[in-house]
Chain A
Amino acid sequence: MEPAMDKGIHIEGLSKRYGAGDTAVDALKEVNMSVAPGEVIGLVGPSGSGKTTLLKCLGAVIEPTRGRMTLGGEVIYEQGWKIPDLRALRRDRIGFVFQAPYLIPFLDVTDNVALLPMLAGRSNSESRARALELLQTLDVAHRARAQISELSGGEQQRVSIARALANRPPVILADEPTAPLDSERALTVMRILNQMARQYQTAIIVVTHDEKIIPTFKRIYHIRDGRTVEEAGEGREIS
């Protein structure tokens, strides 16, 4: 295995079965996937193909049935979770970007981003400084004290990306982050994700069936009936 790939996220033979006996459903079947630090890959497939299940396994919110997962070079799953505190794993080492931003409406922009470092035990001042730095990088620092309801959809998505990056996780899982956006904004979000992946050396997995952004991936994993097939993407540059 290449050293860079070893530091990203790597899964081998990951399976997930729901139920048992005659009613058992195999949502994932021997899935293999590798994403290197700084890389953005697409995970595409029709509804019911297993995309969300795979994302939940990667996000340590449901337990796979078998297989192996490494994150940042550390085995996190192999016949059971190897990390005792999955909550801390999600907090410190996995970033999440959702279809809708799902920001906390009663916190302002800065505190939405600073919440994660605070939860990780960092001081308020350090957390807010890190949040402001990320907001500047994502070009929304001018809305730092704004309430979430005052932001446009694009600004909210940028803030949610900043939140995902707040604890400098080695991997970000983005669940259809461009679905509610028009073409221009969708491509802007993809440009930001690529930029952040490079800048923070984060592996980003984007679950999507958005035709607008699929050409931007250099590598794409197609998932169908619980199995993945890797193929090269167009890797089109986003202006």
Chain B
Amino acid sequence: MINLAGRDILHSWGKFVLTGMGLGLLIGVTLTMAGVYRGMVDDAKVLLTNSGADLWVVQKDTQGPYAESSSIKDDVYRQILGLAGVARAANVTYLTMQVRHGDKDERTMVVGFEPDQPGEPGYLVAGRRLVRGHYEAIADVKTGFRLGERIRIRRHDYEVVGLTSRMVSSGGDPMVFIPLKDAQEAQFLKDNDAIIGDRARTAANPSLNRPGVPGLLDAINASQSSNRNVNAVLVRVEAGTAPDAVAKEIRRWKHLEAYTGTQMEDILIAKLIATAAKQIGMFLAILVIVSAAIVAFIIYTMTLGKIREIAVLKLIGTHNRTISAMILQQAVGLGLIGFAVGKIAATLWAPAFPKFVLLEPADAISGFVIVMVVCALASTLAIHAALKVDPAEAIGG
């Protein structure tokens, strides 16, 4: 038996391909939206993986350091190191800021870390690790910085000595790693004008500037111009130790909050990007509905254009199932062309997106199944119209 759908497609392949390409671009947008969500999730997971920690110790009653601000003293890590099962503990700071690069600003997350400790970038794609205590930086390639370039962060310039990749914040901002002390200063210390102003106010305050207490004013000024805070302590537990058990000990005895990797992933994915995920979900749902409407409209219009032929086919004895199959196959054919175009388009334009777009094969398979189902459902309108055609229409006026 002749494949009527195939013949029709071959006969008017130009129209089919163009229509399929139009649909394909829409499918490409849908796949990209899914990729944007996957990219956000992946960014969140990468952030956790790259930190190299089993536990995140943060300020009590906060969900820091990524979802909320957290501030703890930088000597806390010593107490944590004393707990059973803790192999390593290190201070880190995270500060999202605009970093000047040439004549434009780059939004980055500046990370303060201690060399050879959790929080250090796991690998470099160029350059070397930090060896000096100050004013050196490792930048993610996505920042656009190159080796030897200088980054201005607050009051100081930092030389880029290493490049890393896929080191991004949960929001997709590329990271710049600098020594912890510098990062503490960048995050917590005031600028010179503010310090001078504070000193003047302190000196003018009689309760803080007592003539009978020599050294008090200097001590207060010294405390105001130094900072001992960090955002979190990253903990790596000993082999065979359950992170949950150590987290429980930290919560109980140190009056701090401690999160395991699973809990932190939950905070990042289920809470931090939950609204964005819902937003994307809405877009996906709308795009699927729009795609379905377009396929239904195209197939319906194509079918209406063949009403006379369908009437003749029915008159000469063609089964309804043959006609239905023809329309269904055309809808599915259109979906196949559309999906192929959409997948190729999404693959080509994904790298151009400013944030990471992760096109998962599983999403492509799901997308393919959804496209086929949507096309099949969309063809029902046209099939209904075709089955209503009276074979008598082929005879007479």
Whether B1 pairs with A90 at a CB distance below 8 angstroms is: no
Within 8 A of B (CB), among A30-85: 51-52, 55-56, 59, 61-62
Asked whether A102 lies within 8 Å of B12 as measured between CB atoms, the reply is no
Taking residues whose C-beta sits less than 8 angstroms from the other chain, chain B's interface range is 20 to 34
- B395→A175 contact, CB < 8 A: yes
> When chains A and B are docked, how far (Å) is the Cα of A114 from the Cα of B4?
13
- Interface membership of A229, Cβ < 8 A: no
Question: Could you say which residues of chain A place their CB within 8 Å of the CB of B255?
Answer: none
Give B196-234 interface residues, CB cut-off 8 Å to A.
none
Give Cα distance in the complex from A59 to B317, angstroms. Answer: 11
Q: Known contacts A104-B309, A116-B316: does B7 contact A111 (CB below 8 Å)?
A: yes
Smallest Cβ-Cβ distance to B310: which chain A residue: A104
Contact A106 B7, beta carbon cutoff 8 Å: yes
- Chain B 299-323 near chain A by CB (<8 Å), digits 1 or 0: 0000000001100111111110010
Q: Assuming the A-B contacts A102-B312, A105-B309, are A92 and B394 also in contact, with contact meaning beta carbons closer than 8 angstroms in the complex? A: no
Q: Which residues on the B side are within 8 Å of A96 (C-beta)?
A: 312, 315-316, 394-395
**Number of chain A residues close to chain B: CB under 8 A:** 31
Known interface pairs A104-B309, A106-B8, A115-B2; A91-B392 also in contact (CB < 8 Å):
no
Q: Mark B44-65, 1 if CB is under 8 A from A, else 0.
A: 0000000000000000000000
Asked whether, in the complex, the Cβ of B316 is within 8 Å of the Cβ of A56, the reply is no
Q: In the complex, what residues of B have CB within 8 A of residue A62's CB?
A: 392
Cβ of A217: which chain B residues have Cβ within 8 Å of it?
none
* Complex Cα gap A62–B391 (Å): 9
- With A56-B396, A91-B316 known, 13 other A-B pairs at CB within 8 A are A51-B396, A52-B395, A59-B315, A62-B392, A87-B318, A91-B317, A96-B312, A96-B315, A106-B7, A119-B316, A119-B317, A119-B319, A175-B396
CB pair A87–B2 under 8 Å, yes or no, is no
Task: Report the minimal beta-carbon distance from B396 to chain A, rounded to whole angstroms.
Answer: 3
Please measure, in the bound complex, the distance between the C-alpha atom of A120 and the C-alpha atom of B322, giving whole angstroms: 13
Residues of A within 8 A of B317 (CB): 87-88, 90-92, 116, 119-120
- Report if A87-B395 is in contact (Cβ < 8 Å); known contacts: A104-B309, A105-B309, A106-B10: no
* Chain A nearest CB, measured from B351 CB (Å): 40
Using CB atoms, name the residue of chain B closest to A116: B316
Mark interface residues in B366-397 (1 if CB within 8 Å of A CB, else 0): 00000000000000000000000011101111
Provide the main secondary structure of the chain B interface: helix
Taking the complex as formed, is A136 at the interface, i.e. its CB lies under 8 A from any CB of chain B?
no
Question: Are B395's CB and A61's CB within 8 A?
Answer: yes
Q: Which residue of A lies closest to B397 (CB)?
A: A52
The reply on A221 being an interface residue by CB < 8 A is no
Give min CB distance, A233 to chain B, whole Å: 22
Residue contacts A-B, CB under 8 angstroms, 9 given: A55-B396, A61-B395, A91-B317, A96-B316, A98-B395, A106-B10, A106-B11, A116-B317, A119-B317
CB within 8 Å of A: which residues of B? 1-2, 4, 7-8, 10-12, 308-309, 312-319, 322, 390-392, 394-397
Interface pair A61/B2, CB less than 8 Å apart: no
Q: Please tell me which one of the listed residues B1, B8, B397 contacts residue A118 in the complex, with CB atoms under 8 A apart.
A: B1
Q: Residue A183 at the B interface, CB < 8 A?
A: no
Asked, given contacts A107-B2, A107-B7, whether A56 binds B395 with beta carbons under 8 Å apart, the answer is yes
Q: List, in ascending order, chain A residues with CB within 8 A of B11's CB.
A: 105-106, 147
Least CB distance from B305 to A in Å reads 10
- Closest 7 A/B residue pairs (Cβ): A91-B317, A52-B396, A106-B11, A106-B8, A61-B392, A102-B312, A106-B7
Q: Give Cα A119 to B322, complex, Å.
A: 9
B309 contacts which chain A residues (CB < 8 A)? 102, 104-105
Complex Cα distance A116/B313, Å?
Answer: 9
Contact A118 B2, CB 8 Å, known A102-B309, A107-B7: yes
CB distance from B264 to the nearest CB of A (A): 60
Question: Whole-angstrom distance between the alpha carbons of A149 and B391 in the complex?
Answer: 23
- Would you call B315 and A104 a contact (CB within 8 A)? no
- Contact status B4-A59, CB under 8 Å: no
Decide if A90 touches B316 in the complex (CB within 8 Å).
Answer: yes
Q: Chain A's nearest CB lies how many Å from the CB of B147? A: 62
Contact string against B for A residues 173-184, beta-carbon threshold 8 Å, 1 for contact and 0 otherwise: 101000000000
Residue among B1, B2, B7, B317 facing the most chain A CB atoms (10 A cut-off):
B317
Contact present for A104 and B10 (CB under 8 Å): no
- Chain A residue numbers with a CB within 8 Å of B391 are 61, 90
User: When the two chains form their complex, are residues A61 and B390 in contact, meaning their CB atoms are under 8 A apart?
Assistant: yes
- Considering the complex, give the chain A residue whose CB is closest to the CB of B308: A102
Given A59-B395, A61-B390, A61-B392, residue A106 in contact with residue B316 (CB < 8 A) = no
Taken together as a complex, chains A and B put the C-alpha atoms of A124 and B316 apart, in Å, by 17
Residues of chain B within 8 A (CB-CB) of A116 are 316-317
- Do B313 and A56 have beta carbons less than 8 Å apart? no
| 0/1 string, A88-113, CB within 8 A of B gives 1 | 10111000101000101111000100
- The closest CB in chain B to the CB of A51 belongs to B396
CB of B374 to closest CB in A, whole Å: 25
Q: Closest B-chain residue to A98, C-beta based?
A: B394
Q: How far is the CB of A43 from chain B (nearest CB, A)?
A: 12
Nearest Cβ in chain A — how far from B330, in angstroms? 11
Q: Within 8 Å CB of A107, what residues of B?
A: 2, 4, 7
Are B1 and A56 within 8 A (Cβ)? no
